[in-house]
Amino acid sequence: MNQRVEFLTDGGDTVRELPLYLVPESEHWLDWFHITMRLTVLGQMTKGLAAESSAVSQPGEDEEDGRLDATAVEKQLESLKWHLWHGNVYRALQLVADLEWDLESQEEPSERAKKLLKAVSEF
């Protein structure tokens, strides 16, 4: 078969492997529903991180103490979603890299922050 084939799937490993097995030159596309599901999970994790950081913060502390600003992360996720929806993959990848950098640069990340970093890295 000399035709170019594109598959629209849900992103699961088994689903992705089948088209590659059938047509090794195939291109794989993740559908929008599953992209937004992943972004929703990241948003929920960020809200959990915000609740955690507000519970342990002391009056007068700011984000210079090495903790992550959960509101800024939420804004980055919204921006990421907007850029993906509008087809700006280059900027979306930059935002993911920036978010990873922000999460990795924490001095003493909490367990929730570590989980969020892992989820962003897998995104």
Identity (one letter) of the amino acid at 112?
R
**Which runs of E-coded beta strand occur in the chain?**
6-9, 27-30
Q: For residue 39, give both structure tokens.
A: 């972004």
Across the range 28-34, mean pLDDT stands at 82
| Domain ranges across the chain | 1-30, 32-122
pLDDT on residue 60:
45
Distance CA 69, CA 67 (A): 7
* Sign of torsion over alpha carbons 49, 38, 119, 69: negative
pLDDT on residue 57:
54
pLDDT on residue 79:
95
- pLDDT (tens digit, 9 = 90+) per residue, 42-84? 999 998 887 776 665 554 444 455 567 888 889 999 999 999 9
Q: What is the pTM of this model?
A: 0.70
